[in-house]
Amino acid sequence: MAAQTRALVAARWLADAVKNKRVGPNLRILDSSWYLPIMQRNPKAEFKQTHIPGASFFDIDDCSDKSSEFDHMLPTEGEFADYVGNLGIGNNTHVVVYDTSDFGSFSAPRVWWMFRVFGHNSVSVLDGGFKNWLNEGHPVTKQYSKPERADFKATFDKSWVKTYEDVLNNIKTKEFQLVDARVSGRFRGVEPETRENIEPGHIPGSINMPFPIFMDSTSGLELPVEELKKVFQQAGVDMQKPFWITCGSGVTACHIALAAHLCGHPGVCLYDGSWGEWFVKAAPEHVISEGKGKQPR
């Protein structure tokens, strides 16, 4: 049972579970790969070609608020419950999420965080993702059988999700630290953003922790806890004080939440709209950039 509460599980542990046919109503594996358009990868097509045996595909864009103008904002409780129920996940299911990123993990921590914000703590990220799974020589397949539907009850913790207004207010109050997971060039405003009509830059007062720094660059494995603590310290994040997280659209920010959780700080809050929303709504003086920033209308 201890495995059910671990935020990370090792490839060897999961391979053993697959081999011993433990994948089923009590253990579900999700390929939650998602890529930016500029990456030119089709995760659904890749899943059809190869995945971990017994895995199902979790589509971040599909399991989202379709009425929002911003990318993959969180769905409602009912939408999330229906979506994961269709993947054979009930409230007693241990869920293991992974993705096929070259980093080791890219989008999997977002899905880990989604389960937790909807009240399901029995969820783990596969350490090192599909990259490490292949490196260790574990089996893959193209075969897929749809799981039998399960009943899932979601309980949304809205205190974990912050809005544009919350973040705007925090510029004045400085009640929370705000940590941004985008790569340094986008944060500073010197490399282009990944979405059209959005210029790079950052929210005033925010701290940059590019998401790859939490993983070993060769293996893709998460850094040991003591090293993670040092990474936070070096970035200037005081882990004794509350902090919120952001990125381009609320995906890679969840790497910060996962690392904080591993360091004993669960429940880090996410600005779900992230930079995609901020740039559209913010006044030009609230877009800090070494590049052209946001021009006054």
Active site residues: 247
- The single residue listed with the structure tokens 């990456």 is 39
Q: How far is CA 115 from CA 95, 96, 130, 156, 263, in A?
A: 9, 11, 20, 9, 19
Q: How far is CA 199 from CA 132, 162, 279, 284, 289, in A?
A: 34, 22, 7, 11, 9
List of residues 6+ apart from 160 with CB closer than 8 A: 116, 117, 267, 268, 269, 270
Q: Which two tokens stand for residue 108?
A: 């999997």
Distance CA 34, CA 150 (A): 24
Residue 40 burial (CB count, 10 A): 7
User: Could you give the 3-state DSSP secondary structure of residue 234?
Assistant: helix
Question: DSSP letter string over 2-45?
Answer: GGGG-SEE-HHHHHHHHHTT--BTTEEEEE-----GGG---HHH
Q: 269 has which bridge partners?
A: 244
Distance CA 36, CA 170 (A): 29
